[in-house]
Structure formats: structure tokens, C-alpha cells
Copies of this chain bind each other. A is one copy, B any other.
């Protein structure tokens, strides 16, 4: 075993949610050590958060620009930085680290504005560094398997895509750290649920089908009185090649926790997958009995078998899928090649930004079909 890679983190201080998830994901496969962080812009909280995480004092920054400079200058500087701030704070640190020659692992969506997103893309291009966007649901063995099966023609030509992501935690007016920035246009961008979870659904549909969407018609709604961003997202999609889709994302769908679900139907078969029971993929060849493909079970594809930690029947979940993103990131940073690791990157980030923008535009234009 070569030595562990060194990871830095921007955001994710005390009280944050997704930062902790990134840290567990980075630990699971033993490929990363968290050694530096600008965990908060508040110096005191940054220091305290770093101390809790065992980060040395001299690598506990409160300014990400300083961190990028300092880490780039160290011999034992970080191999990559994880950016886990609210949306509007993705672009600046991403650009700073890329410009400093440091690989970036960034939470989604890519940014709060199109301008920011394009600036990141430019920095990725200019730097030649790796940029990985944590569309973590693509890390599940069975979403990858579904992708390979479709690419191999197992369901024929894709015709129908049904994707949905339903939650209920914003059913009522709620105020906490997570809710506040997600419902604040200044921090989240112009999209609410559409950016927070709609982009995951859209990304997963494109990832699995291998298709690009050409156009969409959207109807966004904010059901909770006083809410400034959408909490329910109805979208019709048209894909290249003629496939048609529907996408529903909601944070007011009472009784749903984190119900990301994808169904794809082609001329020869269908595939269905549900994030809350992620260890089974329903495969329905036309005219034959439905088959239940399990994580680690019979009928697995190369990618479906590639990142298993336990045999079938030992449920792996959200954190393991997320960990696979980190394990794959480590592999490509070590190898310098992305071959074999279907990791979401800057193109997916830009695509997600176009999706958000198109949804907002279409919804504001009486759901007119809008190009992507």
C-alpha cells in the first residue's frame, strides 16, 4: 500500500451536515487522511472544528485563499481539497485551489450562478487538475451496473425515463442551518429543490441512460407560504434520440425521506432502482419474468462488481456509495488517468447548472420547452 493521500476541506465546520459525510466517505476505504482545513470563515470556529478533527493547528485555516497558497507551498501539501460549503461558496475556493495546482472534490450543484460555474470550468481547463463533483448516487454499484447494462444494449433503445427525488423535510416552514441557506436565493442560487435535489435526479438519469436531454418544460412551485425558492419541481424532458422523460423533485412530499428513484424503459427491457433500497436493481427483459439483480449477486457487470466491500446481502448504503467516489478519486489522482472510473466532473457540473437555469426559465415562461 502506498501512503494515504492528503485531503483538505473547505467548509464542514461544527453544525454542518455534508462535510461530515465527506469525511466518513474519505475514511471508509483508508485512502485519505484529512490534514488541513478552512472549516469555517469564523476563525474561532475554524480552529475549534479543526481541533476536533485532529487537524494540526498550523493547517487550520480560516481563509481558503491562504490555505490554497500555504498547502501548495508545503512539501506535504494536500493532494486534493473537498469543498463542502453552501452553493454560493463553491466557485471561489474551487478556483483558488485549482489555480494553486490542487485537485478539487466539490459538492453539488457546481455553483449558485452560471457565471460562477463557467469560471470554475475555465479554471479546471487552465489548471489541468482533476475536478470531481460529488454526485454521490453515481457511486452505487447498481447505478453503475444499470449504466453499463444500458450501454450494452440490455434494454434496447431507451424510450421512457422516469426519475424522481422526494423528501419532506421542508413541508413546513423550518429554520436551521441546513434549511436556511437552501431556501435563501443569495446562497443557494435561483433554484431551491431544483438545485438541491433536482440536479441529483437529473444527473442520475443522464448518467445511467448515457443520454443528454435536449429540452425541458418545467413547473416550479413554492408551496410553503413565504418561501422564496421552489420546493416542488415538475419537469417533462426530451432526450436526444427521442426518449421522453419526467422528473419530479419535491421537499414537501410528506412521508418521503430521501426517495431518489429511477426507472428507465427501452425497446427491449426496463430497469428500476430506488436509493432507499439500493442493493437491488429490477431488470425486466421484455416477455420474461422480472429479475432482481443484487449488489454482489449473480449477473453483475464490471463496474457493478468493482467497488464491493462485502458480499451480497450485507447492505451497503449511502456512505459506501459516497466512499466509492473518494476511492475512485484517489485512484485517478494516483494514476493520473480517469480510465475505468465513471466519476462525475466539470461537465456534469455545467450540465446541472444548465438544468437549473432551464427549469427556472421554462417555469417563468409558462412551462415553454426550453433548450438545455
Give the B-binding residues of A (Cβ under 8 A). Answer: 1, 3-4, 17, 20-21, 23-24, 27-30, 51-54, 155, 159-160, 162, 164, 167-169, 171-172, 217, 219, 221, 223, 232, 234, 236, 238, 242, 244-246, 248, 250, 252-259, 263, 265-270, 272, 275-279, 282-294, 296-299, 309-320, 366-369
- Determine if A278 and B244 form an interchain contact, defined as CB atoms under 8 angstroms apart: no
Residue of B nearest to A291 (CB): B289
Residue of B nearest to A277 (CB): B277
- Determine if B246 and A268 form an interchain contact, defined as CB atoms under 8 angstroms apart: no
Kindly list chain B residues whose C-beta atoms are within 8 Å of the C-beta of A291: 289-292
A254 to B159, CA, bound (A): 10
- Determine if B298 and A289 form an interchain contact, defined as CB atoms under 8 angstroms apart: yes
**Of B28, B171, B268, B289, which one neighbours A283 at CB under 8 angstroms?**
B289
A279 to B3, CA, bound (A): 35
A242 to B219, CA, bound (A): 12
**Of B1, B232, B254, which one neighbours A244 at CB under 8 angstroms?**
B232
Kindly list chain B residues whose C-beta atoms are within 8 Å of the C-beta of A4: 54
Complex A-B, nearest 6 residue pairs according to Cβ-Cβ distance, in ascending order: A255-B284, A257-B313, A258-B313, A315-B317, A314-B318, A255-B270
- Determine if B219 and A3 form an interchain contact, defined as CB atoms under 8 angstroms apart: no
Kindly list chain B residues whose C-beta atoms are within 8 Å of the C-beta of A313: 167, 256-259, 275-276
- Determine if A23 and B30 form an interchain contact, defined as CB atoms under 8 angstroms apart: yes
Residue of B nearest to A157 (CB): B223
Known: A236-B236, A246-B248. A28 touches B254 (CB 8 A): no
Kindly list chain B residues whose C-beta atoms are within 8 Å of the C-beta of A51: 1
- Determine if A319 and B316 form an interchain contact, defined as CB atoms under 8 angstroms apart: yes
Kindly list chain B residues whose C-beta atoms are within 8 Å of the C-beta of A53: 1, 30
**Of B28, B289, B315, B320, which one neighbours A276 at CB under 8 angstroms?**
B315
Residue of B nearest to A156 (CB): B254
Residue of B nearest to A171 (CB): B286
Q: How far is the CB of A92 from chain B (nearest CB, A)?
A: 28
Residue of B nearest to A258 (CB): B313
A249 to B64, CA, bound (A): 50
Known: A53-B1, A288-B298, A298-B289. A254 touches B265 (CB 8 A): yes
Known: A51-B1, A54-B4, A244-B234. A312 touches B257 (CB 8 A): yes
- Determine if B236 and A314 form an interchain contact, defined as CB atoms under 8 angstroms apart: no
Kindly list chain B residues whose C-beta atoms are within 8 Å of the C-beta of A20: 309
Complex A-B: 28 CB contacts under 8 Å: A1-B51, A4-B54, A20-B309, A21-B310, A24-B30, A27-B30, A30-B54, A160-B250, A162-B164, A162-B248, A168-B265, A168-B284, A168-B286, A217-B219, A234-B246, A246-B246, A254-B265, A254-B286, A255-B284, A257-B296, A259-B313, A276-B315, A283-B289, A288-B299, A290-B291, A291-B292, A314-B317, A315-B315
